[in-house]
Amino acid sequence: MSTNDLFHRYVATIASLPSNFDIEQPLPGSLRITGDARHEVYYAPFDHVNTSAKVVLVGITPGRVQAIEAIKTAAHCLRGGLSEAETRARAKNAASFAGPMRRNLVNLLDHVGLAKRLGLQSTAELWMNRPGFLGGRLV
């Protein structure tokens, strides 16, 4: 099953989430992929791949904060009439390393000189939403 198939499998559930869906609420059972008595796996829209990325940051798996942010962003985009491709890109951009971990990651990347090497003021710009940039250098 391709990642695009997963998005299509869960797009209706994501689009129908209430606009006040947040971190305090349980993930909808309809996003559950699998699980056992101790662990559960839920779908979150992290399947966009930016093939023109100049920087690739790899994380093991998104945590709850990142998953909720991806789902919320995707729901908002779908309700706003954006295409599935744009929705997937925005969800991944909004949620990748979201929360306190992004601030820490930006501090680390700036400290080692990545921003300077990329011609940026700060690597925080990798996640900025602006026309023609939307995570333009980040997968």
DSSP assignment of 40-85: EEE--S-----TT-SB----S---HHHHHHHHHHHHHHHHTT--HH
Neighbour-count burial for 81-92, b at 16+ CB within 10 Å, e otherwise: eeebeebbbbbb
Q: Indicate whether 138 belongs to any domain.
A: no
Tokens of 7: 């998005």
Q: Is residue 92 part of a domain?
A: yes
Q: Is residue 14 part of a domain?
A: yes
Domain count along the chain: 1
State which residues form the domain around 26: 3-127
Q: Which of 32, 101, 22 is nearest to 68 (CA)?
A: 22
pLDDT, one tens digit per residue, over 37-89 is 999 999 999 988 888 877 888 877 788 889 999 999 999 999 999 999 999 99
- 84-88, 112-116, 126-130: which range is least confident on average? 126-130
The predicted-structure confidence for 9-33, as pLDDT tens digits, reads as follows: 999 999 999 888 888 888 899 999 9
- Whether residue 67 lies inside any domain: the answer is yes
pLDDT classification of 133: cutoffs 50, 70, 90: very low
CA distance 35 to 130: 38
The torsion of the CA quartet 50, 46, 65, 134, rounded to 10 degrees, works out to: 30
Residue 136 lies in a domain: no
Examine residue 135 and state whether it is found in any structural domain, yes or no: no
Give yes or no for a contact between 40 and 32, defined as CB atoms under 8 angstroms apart.
Answer: yes
- pLDDT of 78 reads 95
**In this structure, are residues 106 and 123 in contact, taking their beta carbons and an 8 Å threshold?**
yes
